[in-house]
């Protein structure tokens, strides 16, 4: 159950019909707003007539947000806009606008606490703020606030007054706590929670079995003779780049981005993840994450990324998939989808594999939710490691400049576009990081470029000593 950096969202596409005045359809995240009739998605300036209505997406489960108005369009709103595009002015005059509220306006997520919440109890109930998921989640007396005992806590059956019916005690929370929250985005960017359920982290038997399926089998490289090693992960085998410097650099950089709380868990704690980073031979731009903390970085990233901060974003994104337990969440989500299909009388031949494919085809929005979350959390961890977070969206610009279809991950469809990933991150920076002092953050290092040269020279000369390439 691997997660891929390049398995991003189906997001933005352009349809053209003539050379100058074009019909254009663009889907992405708003990056600037001048007025309800004038806003931008990256470099595209969009105008709408005041009389032009907006359409809303159908919410999963049949819900909707009937109160959304054009005045509610803000930085970070996801839109699909169709209209006439002027190539000279880069202005798109909209003939239709559809708003995607799922996961941007209306949210239903699971995330790990970033810090202890600030909650206080008044006469009418709890109020305050919960910090998780790269978001500020506000709690009001109307919020349903609960602490759900984990499976281990239920089995131990230890009386706990903090989880008694009708009672909640924030002192029972720690940084090994997930929250399942539902709410609606407010005009100030916060999420007003309708429901928050806390649950302490645990690794159940099913998740432990998933981890064991991906215990790596490693045959180390012959560094002296520049012969690649082998990394076997389940049914997949990778060739390990035979450069000790490059391997040590990837491991050192990756481990520097693992959140402090995860590092500080004692050895033997089932919640502790033993991260391992491998640089492997592959000309594509990608990184692959396994649920037990193995992260595989393709050598092709050094052909694309421009500096160390961009690589730090890629690694932080992958680390967040592991810490947030995305592989297990997705497994459970699709299993629930399969059960629902069977309960509805849908014939699911071929067992679980076919059923998962069917469920996945109906729930791409859920996969996008996990990718968005990893992007948000990656920004937090980049910043904690003192990297310039403005390089996160720039990494996608670098990919769009340098990556061709032949290098793309095979999971991508032809309509996938890097621009939407960039605009999502641009919106996050403008909404949540305005006060950052970028003069204190680092962007690059000589070591990044030295390792890039080693990797590229090895790729060009194969078994030739990279240190001798070009001599």
Contact 11, 419 (CB under 8 A): yes
Residue 416 vs residue 311, higher pLDDT:
311
Number of domains the chain is built from: 3
pLDDT above 90 coverage of the chain, percent = 56
What is the number of residues in the chain? Answer: 471
Report the relative pairing of strands 126-132 and 118-121 from DSSP bridges.
Answer: antiparallel
User: Locate tokens 């390049």: which residue?
Assistant: 6
Calpha distance 33→299 (Å, rounded): 39
Position 210 pLDDT exceeds 70: yes
**pLDDT band (50, 70, 90) for residue 353:** very low
Mean pLDDT of 96-121: 91
Least confident of 6-15, 108-117, 298-307: 6-15
* pLDDT for residue 358: 40
Q: Residues 422-463: pLDDT tens digits?
A: 999 999 999 999 999 999 999 999 999 999 999 988 766 554
Report pLDDT for 466.
44
The CA distance from 28 to 436, in Å, is: 25
Read off the pLDDT of each residue in 316-340 and give the average, rounded to a whole number: 82
Same domain, 262 and 388: yes
Claim to verify: residue 90 and residue 164 sit in the same structural domain: no
Q: Say if CB 297 and CB 303 are below 8 A apart.
A: no
Mean predicted lDDT score pLDDT of the chain: 82
Domain boundary among 201, 232, 253: 201
- 68 and 98 co-located in one domain: yes
* Residues 61 and 336 sit within 8 Å (Cβ to Cβ): no
pLDDT surpassing 70 at residue 26: yes
Q: Which pLDDT band, with edges at 50, 70 and 90, does 6 fall under? A: low
15 has a pLDDT exceeding 80: no
Give yes or no for residue 133 having a pLDDT over 70: yes
Band of residue 187 on the pLDDT scale cut at 50, 70, 90: confident
- Using CB atoms within 10 A of its CB, is residue 350 exposed (0-12), middle (13-18) or buried (19+)? exposed
- Radius of gyration, CA atoms only, the chain: 24
Other Cβ atoms within 10 Å of 281 Cβ, number:
17
- 384 pLDDT more than 70: yes
- Band the pLDDT of 359: cuts 50, 70, 90: very low
> Cα 22 from chain centroid?
33
Mean pLDDT of 21-48: 92
Q: Does residue 149 or residue 9 have the better pLDDT? A: 149
pTM: 0.84
Q: Is the pLDDT of residue 62 over 90?
A: no
Domain encompassing residue 385: 207-468
Which of 174, 201, 228 is where one domain is finished?
Answer: 201
Q: Residue 410 above 50 pLDDT?
A: no
Q: Say yes or no: 352 and 387 in one domain.
A: yes
The 10 Å Cβ neighbour count of residue 277 is 22
Q: For residue 304, how many other CB atoms are within 10 A of its CB?
A: 20
The kind and range of the H/E element at 448 are helix 446-461
Same domain assignment for residues 147 and 30: no
Which pLDDT value is given to residue 166?
42
Measure Cα distances from 230 to 155, 296, 425, 462 in Å. Answer: 42, 12, 35, 16
Q: How large is the average pLDDT for residues 393-402?
A: 88
| Residues forming a β-bridge with 126 | 121
Report whether pLDDT(406) > 50.
no
Q: How far is CA 248 from CA 167, 254, 255, 414, 469, in A?
A: 50, 10, 11, 35, 21
Give the C-alpha separation, 204 to 202, whole Å: 6
- Asked whether the predicted pLDDT for residue 342 surpasses 90, the reply is no
The answer for residues whose C-beta is within 8 angstroms of residue 181's C-beta and 6 or more apart is 107, 108, 109, 110, 111, 130, 132, 137, 191, 193, 195, 196, 197
Helix, strand or coil for residue 444? coil
CA distances from 55 to 198, 401, 460 (A): 34, 33, 51
Report d(CA 214, CA 291) in Å as an integer. Answer: 8
Q: Which of 166, 201, 236 is the last residue of a domain?
A: 201
Q: Are residues 333 and 464 in the same domain?
A: yes
**pLDDT the model gives residue 336:** 65
Extended strands (E) in 186-266 = 191-200, 217-219, 229-233, 236-240
Same domain assignment for residues 236 and 307: yes
Residues 22 and 168 in one domain: no
């Amino acid at each position: 159950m691997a997660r891929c950096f390049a398995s991003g969202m189906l997001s933005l596409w352009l349809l053209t019909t003539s050379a100058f005045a074009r019909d254009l359809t663009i889907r992405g995240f708003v990056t600037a707003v001048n007025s309800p009739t004038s806003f931008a998605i990256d470099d595209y300036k969009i105008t709408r007539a005041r009389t032009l209505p907006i359409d809303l997406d159908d919410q999963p489960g049949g819900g909707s947000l009937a109160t959304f108005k054009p005045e509610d369009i803000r930085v970070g709103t996801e839109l699909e806009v169709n209209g006439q595009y002027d190539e000279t002015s880069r202005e798109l005059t909209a003939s239709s606008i559809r708003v995607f509220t799922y996961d941007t306006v209306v949210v239903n997520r699971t995330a790990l606490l970033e810090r202890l919440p600030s909650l206080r109890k008044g006469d009418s109930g709890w109020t305050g703020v919960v910090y998780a998921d790269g978001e500020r989640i506000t709690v009001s007396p109307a919020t349903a606030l609960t602490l759900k005992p984990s499976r281990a806590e239920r089995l131990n059956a230890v009386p706990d007054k903090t989880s008694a019916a009708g009672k909640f005690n924030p002192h029972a929370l720690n940084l090994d706590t997930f929250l399942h929250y539902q709410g609606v985005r407010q005009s100030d960017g916060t999420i007003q929670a309708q429901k928050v359920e806390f649950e302490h982290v645990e690794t159940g038997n099913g998740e432990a079995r998933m981890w064991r399926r991906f215990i790596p089998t490693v045959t180390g490289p012959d560094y002296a003779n520049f012969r690649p090693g082998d990394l076997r992960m389940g049914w997949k085998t990778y060739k390990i780049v035979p450069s000790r410097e490059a391997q040590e650099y990837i491991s050192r950089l990756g481990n520097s981005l693992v959140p402090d709380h995860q590092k500080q868990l004692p050895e033997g704690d089932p919640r502790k993840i033993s991260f391992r980073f491998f640089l492997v031979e592959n000309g594509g731009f990608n990184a692959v994450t396994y649920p037990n903390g193995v992260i595989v970085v393709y050598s092709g990233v050094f052909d694309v990324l421009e500096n160390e901060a961009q690589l730090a974003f890629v690694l932080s994104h992958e680390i967040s998939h592991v810490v947030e337990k995305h592989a297990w969440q997705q497994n459970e989500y699709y299993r629930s989808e399969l059960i629902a299909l069977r309960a509805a009388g849908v014939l699911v031949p071929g067992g679980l594999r076919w059923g998962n494919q069917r469920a996945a085809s109906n729930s791409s929005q859920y996969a996008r939710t996990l990718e968005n979350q990893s992007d948000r959390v990656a920004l937090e961890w980049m910043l904690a490691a003192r990297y310039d977070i403005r390089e996160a969206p720039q990494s996608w610009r670098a990919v769009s400049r340098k990556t061709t279809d032949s290098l793309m991950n095979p999971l991508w469809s032809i309509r996938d576009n890097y621009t939407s990933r960039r605009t999502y991150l641009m919106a996050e920076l403008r909404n949540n990081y305005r006060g950052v002092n970028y003069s204190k953050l680092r962007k690059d290092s000589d070591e990044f470029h030295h390792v890039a040269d080693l990797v590229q020279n090895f790729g060009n000369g194969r078994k030739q000593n990279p240190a001798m390439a070009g001599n």
